[in-house]
Structure 1
Amino acid sequence: MEKAEKLSGDKLKEVKEILANTAVAELEEGEDLVDLAYTKVEFGYIYLREGKYESLFKVITGKKIVFFAAQRGSLMRLQDAFTEGQFQDMIEQMKAFHGDWI
């Protein structure tokens, strides 16, 4: 398995925008997003592995918090049962494994 690569600068900003915009567009199709003005995206980690972006992040809307994971080139909405505690635990596990740069 190839080691995770750190993203920085403009590339990191670009990838965050792509992932966030894709997630928000998915939410706009459903009933989880009331108003884009009250929407915030927070990334837990993001890196590049084997040419694909890996990330865990959350979209905070006016109605709820929705968690997403990017793995192996796919963006997945996590089940509503996924919690803030699990989000934080996963971030800590990834930092322990890859270092605090994630």
Structure 2
Amino acid sequence: MQLSFRGASVRLRAGYADDVASQVLPAVLEGADDMTVTFNPSYLVDALSSFDAQHVRFHLLGPGQRALLIGAVQPGHRHLVMSLKHLVRPVHTDGGRLG
């Protein structure tokens, strides 16, 4: 699952190749420029499911780094999730992918 924070919103994208779903939600990004991070969907759902709150704060260090999730209602409840590093696949000069 990819989260792209831009201005006052976050775009959630999930899927692969031609089967991708996306949704834009309101969000607040403080202390950084636009940022995109990717998480294993199962780990992210498990982390978010552990909170009994409608709002969760993500403390992000950057792409490929860990993220600390803190509940807005339960600030003592925290969950640490590792984000995934983006893999760059080689591309042919004619635009096709290798491998």
TM class by smaller structure: 0.3 to 0.5
Which is bigger in relative contact order (C-alpha 8 A, separation at least 6)? 1
The structure number with the bigger radius of gyration is 2
More helix, by proportion: 1
